[in-house]
Amino acid sequence: MLRLTWVQPEDLVGHELRQARLEGRDASAVAARWRAAGGDEAPPRAGASAGPVPARLRRLAEDLLDELARLPRPSADDEPTDLGQIRARCPDWPSPRPAARVSPARLEAAWLGRAAGCLLGKPVEKLPLTGIRRLGRAAGNWPPAAYFTARGVPHDLLAAHPWNRRSASTSLAENIDGMPEDDDLDYPLVNLLLLQRHGRGFRTEDVARVWLDELPPGRTFTAERLALRNLLTGLEPPDTARLRNPFREWIGALIRADVHGWTNPGDPAAAAGQAHRDATLSHTANGVYAAMFAAAVIAAAAPDDAPDVHACLRAGLAVVPPGSRLARAVRHAVRLAGAHDDFDAVVDELHAVHSPAHHWVHAVPNTALIAAALTHADGDFTGSLARVVSGGWDTDSNGATAGSVAGLLAGSPAALPEHWTAPLKNRLATSVRGFDGTGFDTLAHLTHREATRPCPSPPPLAPSPLR
């Protein structure tokens, strides 16, 4: 029987119960009813439970998801999703700035950095922190200063901590032959298409159109898959992010943010606004803030005269409501990174704080880890990749974002260590139409074109934008 991941109501209830707790909503009565009826917790790592459930349990799951959505959210005042309300809560919101100069070479380094960081994290995605550490140490590669390898790793350790089954054949050092497909690279390509078709003044409805045209549903996950489902039932943004979507604060919007930063060099406010219009198709609150944070950090790092990584991170925090869970987590992570010489100690503390309450793909802990790694490495390329992937959770996504920032700060492909870039062979595999096999140098020029193209004001909103 087909068990479609990330959409079956009986698998969503457990995730929504956890999300309710994070938002401060009292879902105890709903949780008790679910357990009494025989409902299970959410699958801890997979997207679907192993087998089907009785029809009565599925109907109950649908009813409970709607009931959970009606619970009051105490965090709403500190964590709005509307951009005007977000800006009103950000006392240091950056002023608009003229576009700064960014060279194609710098953007190529960012694309390469994103690919290398993603590729480093791919084989250990979904593994527990202890497994990642044991595999790296067994190969003499800890912290991971090169791609992971199975060479020299004892067979019993590989059996106890198997590599990610979809990635080992393409992402271990001995198997790499160009950049394999990954959603962390697919989404920047989709957003490049978005800008080519609609410019930087796009609306959220334009994002929806591009998704419907270009994203195979089977290549989407979590919040993006549910947003597509909601679009196909006739909902329009921002309702597409809310209906029966317990993944609305997960990492998906963050991994789509790089292009918004790359195309607004030196203007974190514009990058954050662009990321907000993208993110609100599928995410709310902290899921949106994570995308805005990443876009603003990347925009600050993009100009040829960029400041250091610490100033870039401050630019990211300036577009996040300071009372939000994400802002608090990032500030805590940056403090930890400054207080410990051993990054493993930073990671241990972050896991102690966040792992009990959060899924490993939630935006809050992953954004905190990215900020900690960039801070601790002082923006160094290899140091940033090694630290962020060594921290576990969503390893390929975190490696991609940290690699993008560190690649920009390095300034050019020649400044990136060859052992990271040579295996990529200037070739990207993807199912996004028109981009399979494209080189990173070509992608950099296409991105530069969008960064330097005049940006018109967004067009007036049509009454029925998706019809």
How are the residues of the chain apportioned to helix, strand and coil, as percentages rounded to the nearest 5?
A: 55, 0, 40
Stretch 33-46: mean pLDDT: 92
pLDDT, tens digit (0-9, with 9 covering 90-100), for 402-419: 999 999 999 999 999 999
Angle formed at CA 126 by CA 437 and CA 413, multiple of 5 degrees: 40
362 has which bridge partners? 250
Domain count, the chain: 2
Q: Is the pLDDT of residue 34 over 90?
A: yes
pLDDT per position as a tens digit, 148-179: 999 999 999 999 999 998 899 999 999 999 99
**Residue-level pLDDT at 464:** 37
Residue 370 lies in a domain: yes
Q: Which two tokens stand for residue 437?
A: 């096999």
Instruction: Please tell me the distance from the alpha carbon of residue 218 to that of residue 114, in angstroms, as a whole number.
Output: 23
Q: What is the C-alpha separation between 185 and 181, in angstroms, rounded?
A: 7
Considering the domain boundaries, does residue 168 fall inside one? no
pLDDT of residue 43: 87
Q: Pick the closest to residue 245 from 275, 225, 219, 215 (CA basis).
A: 225
pLDDT at 104 over 60: yes
Q: Answer yes or no: are the C-beta atoms of 325 and 301 closer than 8 Å.
A: no
Domain boundary among 19, 54, 76: 76
Owning domain of residue 341: 83-119+179-452
Q: What is the pLDDT of residue 398?
A: 98
- Boundary (domain end) residue, out of 61, 76, 91: 76
Same domain? 287 vs 349: yes
The Cα–Cα gap between 172 and 153 comes to: 12
Q: What's the average model confidence in pLDDT over 365-382?
A: 98
The SS3 of residue 155 is helix
Closest CA to 181 of 145, 218, 149: 218
pLDDT band at residue 455 under the 50/70/90 scheme: confident
Please say if the pLDDT value at position 134 is more than 80.
yes
Q: Is residue 457 part of a domain?
A: no
Q: How many Å from the N-terminal Cα to the C-terminal Cα in the chain?
A: 34
| More confident of the two residues 466 and 272 | 272
Q: Is-contact 13 32, C-beta < 8 A?
A: no
Query: Are 66 and 93 members of one domain?
Result: no
- Residues, the chain, total? 467
Mean pLDDT of the chain: 95
C-alpha of 270 from chain center: 19
42 shares its domain with 98: no
**pTM for this prediction:** 0.96
Residues 291, 410 share a domain: yes
Instruction: Look at the block and give the residue holding tokens 């203007």.
Output: 267
Q: Give 275-290 pLDDT, tens digit per residue.
A: 999 999 999 999 999 9
Res 461: pLDDT:
44
Same-domain check for residues 185 and 331: yes
253 & 323 share domain: yes
3-state secondary structure of 428: strand
Is residue 92 domain-shared with residue 21, that is, in the same domain?
A: no
Number of H helices, E strands in the chain: 22, 0
